Structure 1
Amino acid sequence: MYGLELCLMVVATIGSALSANSYAISLWGALMFWRVILGIGIGGDYPLSAVITSEFATKKRRGAMMAAVFSMQGFGILTAAVISVVTLALYKDLIYQDQRYVDHVWRIVVGFGVVPGVVALYFRLTIPETPRYTMDVLKDIEKGSRDIDGVLSNRKNEKDKGKPNSSIEIPRATFKDFIKYFSKWPNSKVLIGTSVSWFVLDVAFYGIGLNNAIILEAIGFASSTDIYISLWNMSVGNIIITMLGTVPGYWFTVFLVDKWGRIKIQLMGFTILTILFLILGIAYNQILNLSMPLFITIFTLCQLFQNFGPNATTFIIPGEVFPTRYRSTGHGISAASGKLGAIVAQIGFINLKDIGGRNMFMNRLILIFAVFMFIGIWTTLLIPETMNLSLEELSNEDQIGFIKKAKVKEDKTTISVHNFSEVTTSSVE
């Protein structure tokens, strides 16, 4: 059995095993299992979303297009917060009758995530391969040029009388070639820069993002003994922070990334975040005693400059700075480094926050985040500016030497290659 039948059997078997009315598996075990599956999917989608957008975009609009794709994350965060508020409102009376109905609420909120997932799956299955991948990795220059012409003309391709017949001698993506390419300092420093920048960013981004509710409780915004009020305030607080900080931050990046440049925005973000985290960490108790809204305002600014800053640019840059055969790999390594930072943040946050008493270590945790943001300033300096440069220029390889011409015949065929520029190649007998 192959294909769809095998997929159905695998899914049905796993689903049956996890839905039995018994204690054969714990809730935490089931959640961890599905989070691993989710991680595999997201782990593939991160580089694909960036690279496909990057390879289809023009160099003048590439940053904005990639940032717009990534900005959907902000709307996803906002939607999740809204769904939690709506679900809580619907279950209000039931929760006051029996607090076990809270279990229904979180299951509905988590389960709702399948809706955008199904929509995204359709587009992921139907999106075409990029012409750059077809040319550089599959080495089919004729099909790649037809694909480009189809994208540019938005009409059906017709075969020319003389077929483009250049061959491409780009090295294949092998482990040996990977080591050869990244053993050169100009190439390896870029991978180090993108990976470490994403790592240090995600220590703070997920250290805060995954623990918004804990932070809101710690500052007294959601510390009610009434479980419904506490959950309601957490959800409303998340909506406020997302609407005023997270979503606007993404769209500032969309509008300015191709005007200011990626590196300027990333350096600005890391620098401002270092300052804001230092303020919150050093004056934590003083700010809370003075004004809780002031604390939330500064906290919201942190969310703003994470997204109008390194959270967006660490996604964009790795999709531009590597050659086609390693573009997804380089982006994947960078993204995986970020998620390693998220793991470090979550383990550290949970184990450190209660040192000296409940939530008593929170100010020092914020200071630790400031240190990581400061490191990000220096790792950013390892990365080149990518604005208004073609992907071929950014690959740090001599692209001209990759194209080999064959015997000349009278008629010539113009094909589009690499950076969507047109080159004239001769056809052969």
Structure 2
Amino acid sequence: MSSYNNNVKLDAQELNNRRREALSKIDNAEFGWFHIRACLVAGVGFFTDAYDLFAINLIGFGYLADRLGRKKMYGVELMIIIVATLGQALSGNGSVLSISAAIIIWRVFVGIGIGGDYPLSAVITSEFATTNRRGAMMAAVFAMQGFGYLTTGIIAIILLAAFKSSIHDDVKNLDYVWRILIGFGCIPALVAVYFRLTIPETPRYVLDIENNVNKAERDVANVLKENRNHLQSENDNEPVVSNPNIAKGSLSDFAAYFSKWENFKVLFGTSMAWFALDVAFYGIGLNNSFILSSINLGGLKGDNWGTCWNSAVGQIIIVLLGAVPGYWATVFTVERLGRIRIQVLGFVMSCILFCALGFAYNEIRNTSAALFIILFALTQFFQNFGPNSTTFIIPGEVFPTRYRSTGHGIAAGSGKLGAIVAQVGFSRMKDNGGSNAGIPTLLKIFALFMFIGLIVTFLIPETKGKTLEELSNEDDESMSTQHNALNEEK
């Protein structure tokens, strides 16, 4: 009996070494075309998400990706977005269902697709990335949102210019514009579907969830274009080599892992930071008419074409002033400054700027419209060069493989709960006491949420320069002990 246990221990040690070697190759690989392709394939989803605007995020796809695999779910969510986007563009009035009701129904499905895209794109990018470029790769994926916003405005301007005379002749011709505008969002998504469906499963999922060491070694060699002559072919019908030290995901294991404070505080911190950020981020986005009116790009009474034109031009200006520079500042500095420093900086500056705009709203607007726009652009910059980017990056790094997608989905879902609070709870406050009279109060509330986001940030560990295994708060020995204990309970 003793000899048998010793053999098992030696086998387990060898498997752990093979696991570490496979992961080390991924973590320390030379940056190459595969990493660029992974960013582009993941980033197209965020381009489309932003193009289609934002909807309710659900955690369902995050859980399924942990249970069934990243590869099996990746592409499915994009196909849902494509079908639902086309459904919106082709919606019409009927005796049973009005056009507005049809669009709302399709938007629910778009929300489901987007809810899947967040955790899947984050986790697949993080699990394929090298350790020293992981944050930059994930930030680059997320930064595609900025280009999505920008492209929406550009396409809208092109369409409005093309249909200008026909819209002036008959305002109903605006119908062509919004349908083409929405439908155009399917084009980049259709291009990306093939690549998403053919992307390999991440080696970490194969190692830690499928628990197939041989397959993971082959996949790593395949991704890195290594010489695979020393590895057995997949067609050789070799037995599956499993590592007994790997803990399996289950409800009891989930409860055991997150019942520990050092793990729960990370889940709470990432979720609450995302919630606090999105209250302000979406609160501003849903009430930006007061910004556009400050640069004479507000609505024009009796001129539907002019109102749409001003809205499109205003969106482009706002995105170019704050959003796009903020996103890419994160991409280029996240590996030097670290995620937490950027998130703290973003929350602090956003809090200060919202306080300035909230407490001196009328004074600033009456003194200088340019100053008002500059301050607002800075809030956009520091939200994107700050928590809007890092709240996406960090949850894709800090959880173990078996819960990485689920954890990211929970954090992202918390963020979208914040968006709902902003839309349902605050949208009516804007006009309390008159048109836009409630804006100063809203800005003060947003400052409070930025402060809350700052406080919970200190519950989250810095992830810069650490492997995903280091960040999971587990080592091989503890994983083995936990796994054996759960098996004994069963």
By the TM > 0.5 criterion, same fold?
Answer: yes
**Cα distance change, pair 392–315 in 1 and its aligned pair in 2 (3 A):** same
Distance, in Å, in 2 between the alignment partners of 1:135 and 1:402 is 13
Aligned to 1:75: 147
Q: Please tell me the residue identity of whatever aligns with 2:117.
A: D
Q: Which runs of 5+ in 1 are unaligned?
A: 405-429
1:251 Cα deviation from its structure 2 partner: 0.7
SS at match of 1:196: helix
Deviation at residue 107 of structure 1 after TM alignment: 2.2
Distance change >3 Å, CA 368–CA 290, structure 1 → 2: same
Hey, what's the Cα distance between the residues in 2 that align with 1:342 and 1:199?
8
- Aligned ranges 1:94-173 → 2 under 5 Å: 94-154=166-226, 159-160=231-232, 165=241, 167-173=243-249
Instruction: Give the fraction of aligned pairs with identical amino acids, expressed as a percent.
Output: 58
**Aligned equivalents of 1:19, 1:235: Cα separation in 2:** 23
Aligned-pair distance for 1:296?
A: 1.4
**Alpha carbons of 1:349 and 1:21: their partners in 2 closer, same or farther (altered >3 Å)?**
closer
Aligned pair in 2 of structure 1 residues 19, 303: CA closer, same or farther (>3 Å)?
Answer: closer
Asked if the contact 1:166/1:403 (under 8 Å) is kept, the reply is no
Q: Look up the equivalent residue of 2:268 and give its one-letter code.
A: I
Amino acid at match of 1:188: F
Within the candidate set 221, 243, 250, 1:174 is matched to 250
Contact kept in structure 1, 2:118 and 2:412, CA below 8 Å: yes
Output aligned runs, 1:224-235, within 5 Å.
Answer: 224-225=300-301, 226-235=303-312
Residue 153 of structure 1 aligns to a residue in which SS? coil
* CA drift at 1:224: 2.8
Q: 1:193 aligns with which of 269, 273, 276?
A: 269
Give me the whole-angstrom Cα distance separating, in 2, the residues matched to 1:155 and 1:357.
71
The AA in structure 1 aligned to 2:203 is P
Distance 1:230 1:33 in 2: 27
* Structure 1 segment 324-339 matched on structure 2, within 5 A: 324-339=401-416
Q: Deviations over 1:358-379 (max 9, x none)?
A: 2211111111111110111001
Kept in 2: contact 1:392–1:399 (CA 8 A): no
Say whether 1:308 aligns with 2:385. Answer: yes
2:328 corresponds to which of 251, 255, 277: 251
Displacement of 1:74 in angstroms is 0.8
Q: Secondary structure at the match of 1:353?
A: helix
- Greater shift, 382-391 or 21-30, is seen at 21-30
Deviation at 1:209, TM superposition (A): 2.1
Distance 1:29 1:223, change over 3 A: closer
State which drifts further: 350-359 or 222-231. Answer: 222-231
Q: Which amino acid aligns with 2:141?
A: V
Contact 1:277–1:367 (CA<8 Å) still a contact in 2?
yes
1:385 alignment counterpart: 462
User: 1: distance between equivalents of 2:282 and 2:93?
Assistant: 34
- AA matched with 1:263: I
| Cα separation, 1, equivalents of 2:465 and 2:106 | 41
Q: Which moved more, 1:28-37 or 1:215-224?
A: 215-224
Matching residue of 1:292: 369
CA contact (8 A) 1:94 1:101 kept: yes
Are the aligned partners of 2:396 and 2:404 in contact in 1 as well (CA < 8 Å)?
yes
CA distance in 2, matches of 1:153, 1:288: 59
Report matched runs for 1:405-416 at 5 Å. none
In structure 1, distance between residues paired with 2:449 and 2:339:
19
Report the 3-state secondary structure (helix = DSSP H, G, I; strand = E; otherwise coil) of the residue aligned with 2:459.
coil
Secondary structure in 1 matching 2:464: coil
Task: Deviation per CA, 1:216-273: give whole Å up to 9, x if none.
Answer: 2477531432332222122111101111211111110001000000000000000000
Q: Secondary structure at the residue paired with 1:134?
A: helix
Q: Deviations over 1:369-406 (max 9, x none)?
A: 111101110010000000000100000012255579xx
The question of whether the paired residues in 2 share the 8 Å contact of 1:81 and 1:235 is answered with: yes
Task: Give the residue type in structure 2 aligned to 1:370.
Answer: A
Name the CA distance, whole Å, in 1 between partners of 2:473 and 2:405.
16
Q: TM-score, structure 1 length as denominator?
A: 0.86
The answer on whether the counterparts of 1:280 and 1:363 sit within 8 Å (CA) in structure 2 is yes
Q: Which amino acid aligns with 1:60?
A: N
Shift of residue 78, structure 1, vs aligned partner:
0.6
Provide the C-alpha distance between the structure 2 equivalents of 1:219 and 1:343, rounded to a whole number of angstroms.
Answer: 28
Q: Partner residue of 1:203? A: 279
In structure 2, list runs of 5 or more residues that go unmatched. 1-75, 482-490
| Root mean square deviation, CA, Å | 2.6
Farther-moved stretch of structure 1 (127-136 vs 346-355) = 346-355
* Aligned mates of 1:157, 1:368 — CA distance in 2: 62
Deviations 1:124-147 (A, max 9, x none): 211111000001001111101211
120-129 or 152-161, larger mean C-alpha shift: 152-161
Which deviates further from its counterpart, 357-366 or 208-217? Answer: 208-217
Partner of 2:442: 365
* Structure-2 residue corresponding to 1:422: none
**CA distance in 1 between partners of 2:134 and 2:92 (Å):** 49
Name the CA shift for 1:15/1:91 in 2 (closer, same or farther; >3 Å). closer
Report the Cα distance in structure 1 between the residues aligned to 2:105 and 2:127, rounded to whole angstroms: 34
Report if aligned partners of 2:322, 2:381 keep a CA contact under 8 Å in 1: yes
Question: Shift of the alpha carbon at 1:279?
Answer: 1.0
- Residue type at the aligned position of 2:270: T
Amino acid at match of 1:231: C
Residues of 1 paired with 2:330 and 2:201: CA distance?
A: 27
Task: List per-residue Cα deviations over 1:172-204 (Å, max 9, x = no partner).
Answer: 111111111101100000000000000010111
Q: TM-score, normalised by structure 2?
A: 0.76
Give SS of 1:299's match: helix
Code of the residue aligned with 1:336 in structure 2: it is: G
Asked if 2 retains the 8 angstrom alpha-carbon contact of 1:199 and 1:337, the reply is yes
Query: What residue number does 1:38 align with?
Result: 110
How far apart are 1:171 and its partner, in Å?
2.0
Deviates more, 1:304-313 or 1:281-290: 281-290
Give the residue type in structure 1 aligned to 2:332: F
